[in-house]
Amino acid sequence: MSIVVLLLVVAGLYASLFFSPPLHGPDGEYLGESFRIFFLHVPAAWTSFFCFFMAFLLAIAHLYTRRRRLDVMSAAWAETGLIFATIVITTGPIWGRAAWGAYWTWEPRLTSFLVLWTMYLGYVLLRSAVEDAEKRGVFSSVMAILSFLNVPIVFYAIKLWGAKSHPVPGPNYFGNPDIRATIFINLGALLATAALFAHLRSRVENEHD
């Protein structure tokens, strides 16, 4: 599995740096080379959502069955999601500085993603702060469920402020088949990486027991 992931990551890097044509913004403006970070930023965001969704499903399953294995898997996906969410909030400002001239603006997508990130940081902190394994499993499953339920409300609440500078993916991004292909190669690479991380994390936790 590790070799497949490595090959996908290499393919994703090659496509992002050499294969993809120059990118243009929503109004057709040339966005420069800095925009190649888009191929890491966007798939990393989708991957983090996928990880949090997996953590949510496994947390529900754990509360129903009380199988420790499900709790460990849920935590592994949540922690992996937090890693990818950290990539998103790190690459976003780098890209934002080049594209908008500012590292951070308090606009809906950025703010909602920051809140999402802090929620899962809370999850990790809570998990590390409960010593009893059974209690830890139940508490962190509840936290994973609450955090995930909060996500759409956070997004909608912040959206009421009104969209500002964050670009909305449109035809300029996804209309070009080469750009689309690059995004999906990277998405595949990051999803495979996330699955590998979650698998390894679960294994470490199980061996620890």
Partner 1 sequence: MNAIFTPFLAILKRDLLRESRTGELLLGGAGFGIVVILAYAFSLPSDFLTHEVGVGALWIAVIFASQVAIAGSIEIEGSAGRLDAVRATGIDAGIFYMGKAFSLFITLLLFASGLLLITAFLFNLEFAGIRRMTPVLILGIGGISLSGPLIALLGAGAKSSRVLTPFLYVVLFVPLLLASVMASQSAIEGEVFGAALTVVGAYDLIIGGGVLLVSPVIIEES
Nearer to partner 1, 11 or 146 (CB): 146
DSSP string, 139-173: HHHHHHHHHHHHHHHHHHHHHTT---SSPPP-HHH
Q: Is 6 in the site for partner 1 (CB under 8 A)?
A: no
How many angstroms separate the CA atoms of 73 and 117, rounded? 19
Binder of partner 1 out of 126, 167, 172, 188 (CB under 8 A): 126
Binder of partner 1 out of 154, 179, 185, 198 (CB under 8 A): 154
Which tokens in the block code for residue 174? 């996804």
Q: Is 149 in the site for partner 1 (CB under 8 A)?
A: yes
- Please tell me the total number of residues recorded for the chain in this structure: 209
Q: Is 162 in the site for partner 1 (CB under 8 A)?
A: no
Which tokens in the block code for residue 185? 């190669």
How many angstroms separate the CA atoms of 90 and 78, rounded? 18
User: Any idea which residue has 């990790």 for tokens?
Assistant: 124
Nearer to partner 1, 156 or 174 (CB): 156
Q: Which stretch binds partner 1 (CB under 8 A): 2-10, 27-35, 132-140, 178-186?
A: 132-140
Q: Which stretch binds partner 1 (CB under 8 A): 29-37, 39-47, 118-126, 191-199?
A: 118-126
Which tokens in the block code for residue 160? 């009421």
What separation in angstroms does the CA of 73 have from each of 56, 57, 140, 163, 191?
A: 11, 10, 12, 36, 16
Per DSSP (E only), the strands in 48-184 are none
Q: How far is the CB of 134 from partner 1 (least distance, A)?
A: 7
Q: Is 147 in the site for partner 1 (CB under 8 A)?
A: yes
Binder of partner 1 out of 6, 83, 157, 200 (CB under 8 A): 157
Q: Which stretch binds partner 1 (CB under 8 A): 3-11, 38-46, 47-55, 126-134?
A: 126-134
- Whether the Cβ atoms of residue 189 and residue 64 lie closer than 8 Å to each other: no
Binder of partner 1 out of 27, 101, 129, 207 (CB under 8 A): 129
Residues that bind partner 1 (CB under 8 A): 63, 115, 118-119, 121-122, 125-126, 129-131, 134-135, 138-139, 142-143, 145-147, 149-150, 152-154, 156-158, 160-161
